[in-house]
Each structure stands twice: as C-alpha cells, then as structure tokens.
Structure 1
Amino acid sequence: METTELLKRVRRIEIKTKGLSRQIFAGEYHSAFKGRGMSFSEVRGYQYGDDVRSIDWNVTARTNEPFVKVFEEERELTVMLLVDISKSSFFGTTNQLKNELITEICAVLAFSATNNNDKVGLLLFSDRIEKFLPPKKGRGHILRIIRELLDTRPQGEGTDLGLALTYFTNMVKKRSICFLLSDFLAEDYEKPLRLAARRHDLIGMHLYDPRERELPDVGLIHARDAETGAMEWIDTSSRRVRQRYTAWYEKHLAYYLNAFQKAGADTLSMETTEDYTKGLLRFFKGR
C-alpha cells in the first residue's frame, strides 16, 4: 500500500474509533478491567467504622491523634493485542473482510486503553511471529499499531496459535489484559493457552464470516484455500458436501470454546455483519 493511501486509512480509522472509545467505551472499559492491586494514596483522620488494621501508627504517634492509611486501586494496566493475520483473515463475503473488522476492534481497544493511561502492545502472527511491538503509551504508538495492522502482510502460510501464545508468554512477563483475535480455524493450542491464562487476563475474540459457518448452494465452484493456496472444485449443490463443511467449522468452534473454558479464559464471537460496538459493550458489561 502506498504511503499516502496508508496514512489516509489510518486517519479514517483513528477518527471513527477514537470517538467510539471516548463516547461509548471509556466507562465500560474502566469498570471491566481492574488494576493490578492497591497503592498508598494518603492518610486521613480516623473515622468511626474504619478498619483498625489501616491505622498508620507512625503518624498517629507523632500527632497523638489516630490516622489511617488510604489506598486506591492501581489503574495502570498493560493491554496486549495478539492478532492472527494468516491469509484466512483476508476473507470476506459481506461489507468487509475479517482483517478490516479486526483492525477497527483493535483500534477501539487501543484508544480505550490509552484513554485510561494504559500501555498497549501488539503481536501479529500467522504460522510464525510476523511482528512484535512492546507495550507503550501515547497516540503515536497507537497510530503505529493501526499502520501495522493495515499494512503488514503475512510471510507465513498457515496459522499457529500455540506458537503465538508461547511467544507472548515468554516476552510479556508482567500481567496484562490480552485480547487474542482470530478466526480460530486451528487446533493444538490448548496447553500454551492454559499457561498464558495462568499469568494473564486472556480473552479470545472469535471473528468470522457468515460463509465460513455455512456453505451456500451455488453449484460447482473452483475455490482456493487461502492458507495453502491449493485449488479445488467443490460441488456446493451437494447436501453432503455442505454438511461436511459445516461440521468442519463447528469442530474448530467447539475446540476453541472448550479450550478457553478449560483455561478459565473469556470468549467473545462476532460476525463480520454484526455491529461490533454492541458486541463489545455486551462483553464489557458482562464482566
């Protein structure tokens, strides 16, 4: 993509998603994700009902009056966006591709995080690690994240969720809020998922196109596998073929839901035709 066109697209996404993050998600994001713990704020005079364990004995001894320590929640968090950019993400049969939906959702999450003074990092992967941006703050960093989401094309052919989760666990030691965005058309990632979920607050965001869930009856088609490049004739008028296709999709979906449930991690599914703002709001309020 040419630089001028890329910058225009980045700006359009910034205008749309920055407004959403401020007007809609600011409060919901803040309440959905708690800080790391409690930090000391100040001391004040003891009041009836205060926990005696919070008394500051040093100040009390100096002033000869009882004072208590006041603590507040530490709000600064680290948000990590783990994004599947394998070739299957460049697929769409409606008004947008899956990767276009993923980019907008990531932008909303990133601006919501930066509005709360949180750091944001990015990991792009296929069947290899394509790009890693360590967590940072600031508008400039968020715009770079958007640029990478728009302009990075995968070098790998397939999808390896286990590799991405293992890399993330090894690289990000500090506890973080991790959004894993993928179509989850892969398996064999249960163990690294479980390890990542022990250390981080992990959310799996399943993004899919309606034609991935159900194959339409449009006769004989010549289709190419987005990740392997293999060409194949498919008779979509065959009921057995359509049922087998649906079973393949549901098998991967069941694996995804079961793996995240076992790991104690949250899940969220959204179709490319859906208004993602409603889906995100439902998710935030559900937490």
Structure 2
Amino acid sequence: METQLTRDILKKVRQIEVRTNRLVNDSLAGSYNSVFKGRGMNFDEVREYVPGDDVRAIDWNVTARTGIPHIKKFTEERELTIMLMIDISSSGEFGSSDSSKREIMAEIGSVLAFSAVRNNDKVGLILYTDFVELYIPPKKGRSHILRVIREILFFTPRGTLTDLKVPLDFVNRVAKRKCVAFLISDFCLPGSFNDSLQDVLPALRVTNRRHDLISLIISDPRESELPDVGWITLEDAESGQQVDLNTSDAQVRNEYAQLAQERKDLTNRAIRSCGVDLLELNTDSPYMPPLLGFFQTRMRRAVR
C-alpha cells in the first residue's frame, strides 16, 4: 500500500514537472531573467582603457603602477533567492473545474521554481495555514525543486485557517538578504473579512520594504457567482460555518455576486495601497498568459 502511494506521488510530481517544464519556455524564462535582477555588481577584472570607456571606472592604483590607464570591469550578481509562500489551508481544496485552488498553486509554484532553476537561482518554500506548517530553506537543483513540488502537492496540514501575517513575519526572520517573495493564497480570511484584511496590511508593508513582494490570488468562479440549481448548503471550508441559499432566487444570486465583487475590490485596493504587485488567477482559466503578461508589464516598468 505504501509502495503504491509512493509510486502515485512520484507519478504526480513527474506529471507536474513535465507540464511545467513545457510551459517554462524561452519566452517565460527570458521574461523572468529580465524582471528579477541580481542584488548588485561584482568586480570581475581590470583591462586597459579604450576611448569611449567611462572614466569613472578607471582603476587609479593599477594605472599608477603600470603607467597605462586601466578600468575595472564588473559583472551583475545574478543569483537570486525565490521564496514561495503557499497557503495550504482548507479553502484551497475547493475547485469547481478540473483543478482545485491548491493544485493551481502547486503548478504556479512549479513554474516559478523551474524558471528560477534555469537562471541558477535558489528556491525556498514556506507552507502555511495559521502557522508555518513547513519550511524548506532555499537551495538550487532539480532534485530540490522536485521535493518542493512534492511538498506543495502532498503535504498534509494540521491547521485549517489562514493567517497571512504568519508567512510574511517568518520570511522577514529567515531571509537575511533581499529576496523575491511570492505570497500565493486565495485570501479567504477567517472572521470579519475587512478586519482580517486590515490586520495583515502592516506585515505586507514591512515585507515589501525588505523584499520584492508579489501577491498571487487564486480564485474559483463559484466563489463569485452561483448557478441556478435551487436550494444549496454552502460551507466555509476553514471555519465549518454553513448557510442555506435558494439559488433559484435571482436576487440571492445577484447579492452573492455583488458581495464577492466588493470583497475582491477591497482586497485589491488594500494590497496595492501597500505598494505590493498583484496578480489574480482563476482555476478555470489558463494561468500562463496572465503570468507572462505580468512579467512583461514589470519588465516595461523597470526600464522606464
């Protein structure tokens, strides 16, 4: 039984690897490389000055010693650390199409991880609910990435709720140097939604000052609109709270859609007010076109 389970896990991880490797084409890898720059410049060597070189790069010590003008050459310190902070609370198990929100999060995490590997960057993983369930320190290499994917897909959480402050505070403690931090969640927050959202804003601001923070919100279409199927019982996957709704009533469907839109608008405004970049993705739509478009937008903004 255990051997079969292991084979099934390896098969699923392999499927994710094949699929995401195919998606991480030259276009995406190039966009990733252009968007996420290194931490600075490293000294490479000195060479003789030629007309047109920047005189500010002249190495006066070598020039004085040789009697011939020399300049310093630098190369970009390209290596980055990518931190994937992925929400594995109970609400992520929901999905009305072929994939659940957690499965989409796993694929997106895989795409980002394989893009990082192609650029010789390190990847770390933080799986969280209302506490840090698992931390894998940043490393390089295919075997490390496959472990990251396996944990995203199959790790069994102990918690059910979401607390976005938890991964943000944690990454600020463990990442001593600036990293690119992806906060991946459905933003289904417990209690009063507005109060819960306001509580996380200070942590978003602090993390965005210390790191390059990017928020990815994964949603399902059934969270914003109801089908006309009569009476149904909706249950909050995290709190267990239930409510009965008559979906045949057009007013009920309209009010549900309006409330969902208000929550979405509130979330987007709050995140952007912290200066954090935001990308919204849906379980029933391909995620690669908007992800590539997001990279390209950041790239254009960086060269202005």
Find the partner of 1:53 among 47, 56, 60: 56
Q: Cα RMSD (Å) of the superposition?
A: 1.6
Question: How many corresponding residue pairs?
Answer: 287
How far does the alpha carbon of each residue in 1:65-85 deviate from its partner, in whole angstroms, 9 at most, with x for none?
Answer: 101111121100000001111
AA of the residue aligned to 1:271: N
SS at match of 2:33: helix
Q: TM-score, normalised by structure 2?
A: 0.90
> What's the offset of the Cα at 1:22?
4.2
> What's the offset of the Cα at 1:32?
1.0
| Aligned counterparts of 1:249 and 1:84: Cα–Cα separation in 2 | 20
| Aligned counterparts of 2:283 and 2:206: Cα–Cα separation in 1 | 30
| Aligned counterparts of 1:243 and 1:171: Cα–Cα separation in 2 | 45
What is the match of residue 241 of structure 1?
Answer: 252
Find the partner of 1:37 among 32, 35, 40: 40
What is the match of residue 269 of structure 1?
Answer: 280
Pairing 1:203–2:214 present: yes
How far does the alpha carbon of each residue in 1:220-243 deviate from its partner, in whole angstroms, 9 at most, with x for none?
Answer: 012322112233322122334323
| Aligned counterparts of 2:126 and 2:252: Cα–Cα separation in 1 | 36
> What's the offset of the Cα at 1:246?
2.4
How far does the alpha carbon of each residue in 1:150-185 deviate from its partner, in whole angstroms, 9 at most, with x for none?
Answer: 111221121111222112212222110011111112
After TM superposition, the structure 1 = structure 2 runs for residues 84-99 of structure 1, keeping only pairs within 5 Å, are 84-99=87-102
After TM superposition, the structure 1 = structure 2 runs for residues 31-180 of structure 1, keeping only pairs within 5 Å, are 31-180=34-183
What is the match of residue 189 of structure 1?
Answer: 200
| Aligned counterparts of 2:90 and 2:106: Cα–Cα separation in 1 | 15
Alpha-carbon contact 1:37-1:74 (below 8 Å) kept: yes
Alpha carbons of 1:75 and 1:181: their partners in 2 closer, same or farther (altered >3 Å)?
same
What is the match of residue 224 of structure 2?
Answer: 213
| Aligned counterparts of 2:211 and 2:71: Cα–Cα separation in 1 | 33
| Aligned counterparts of 2:7 and 2:159: Cα–Cα separation in 1 | 27
| Aligned counterparts of 2:172 and 2:30: Cα–Cα separation in 1 | 29
AA of the residue aligned to 2:215: G
What is the match of residue 9 of structure 2?
Answer: 6
| Aligned counterparts of 1:156 and 1:63: Cα–Cα separation in 2 | 67
AA of the residue aligned to 1:64: G
| Aligned counterparts of 1:239 and 1:190: Cα–Cα separation in 2 | 35
| Aligned counterparts of 1:49 and 1:24: Cα–Cα separation in 2 | 33
> What's the offset of the Cα at 1:127?
1.6
Q: Which runs of at least 4 in structure 1 moved beyond 4 Å after TM superposition? A: none
SS at match of 1:11: helix
| Aligned counterparts of 2:253 and 2:123: Cα–Cα separation in 1 | 41
Alpha-carbon contact 1:185-1:249 (below 8 Å) kept: no
